[in-house]
Amino acid sequence: MKKYLSLGSIKQIVTRPRLMLRVPRYLRQLRAYRRMELRKTGRLTPLRLYPCLNDDQETQSGYGYYFYQDCWAARQVFRENPLWMVDVGSTVLLVGILSQFAPCTSVDIRPIESNLEGLTVEAGSVLELPFKDGEVPLLTTMCVIEHIGLGRYGDPLNPTGTKDAVAEIARVIAPGGVVVYSVPVGREVNEFNANRRFRYAHAQQFFKGWEMVDSVLLTPHPEAFSSEQQVLALKEPVACFCMRKPL
């Protein structure tokens, strides 16, 4: 019977010394499991020791901007039911899931490494999208366009990066098509080189003259709002919009 300890477990213990306090419990569980295995099966199977010493103390959180905004964005896509779609720079998990619902082309300056069926990957910039005028039926870009031109992700510096990104997205969306996007809102400020933050009214008018299909304002614990003053009172909210281009 061969036993060995995984490198991942060694790293876990070395980087988090407090976990050593949970090793005795792990060893008691291991001993009890082996006795139970022998009693129930009559033999001991090969073991690889891979202690996960803290998982029973951690809960899965359904809070946080990305959890809520990605679920909200997925709802918009499922409702629209496009024949195909584009994503620019959103989280890998959101892009992967959406690509299993509708064929998806991901455009990112740091392209996704994947061979997932339904997902096409393009290395590129939101400032130069590889699509014809009015070609794209639906485009998602969640917490992306506020970063453009600030150098954070290796893109060139550009003081009008967000404005230019909005114009390029508007160019490629088909008449009647939609763009689903989110940006930080509150007091308007350039938080260089993290992101730009916009007044809610400004973010809402990025695609001026388009129909607002849906919107939501998020904090780590989503809260309702009814005025610009309440938006400013929230802690670093993120606003999500689904906008339809006129026919």
Whether the link from the prior residue into 193 is cis, omega within 30° of 0, is yes
- CA-to-CA distance for 50 and 7, rounded, in angstroms? 9
Q: Hey, what's the torsion of the CAs at 219, 74, 129, 118, to 10 degrees? A: 140
DSSP character for 155? P
Whole-prediction pTM value? 0.79
pLDDT tens-place values along the chain, 247 residues long: 344 455 555 666 566 667 778 788 888 888 898 899 999 999 988 877 777 776 666 555 555 678 889 999 999 999 999 999 999 999 999 999 999 999 999 999 999 999 999 999 999 999 999 999 999 999 999 999 999 999 888 889 999 999 999 999 999 999 999 999 999 998 899 988 889 999 999 999 999 999 999 999 887 555 544 445 555 555 678 999 999 999 9
- CA-to-CA distance for 199 and 183, rounded, in angstroms? 10
Residue 106 CB burial class (10 angstroms; 0-12, 13-18, ≥19): buried
Domain range summary for the chain, segments of one domain joined by +: 7-57, 65-244
CATH 3.40.50.150 describes domain 65-244: yes
Give the residue from 110, 106, 127 showing the smallest Cα distance to 118: 106
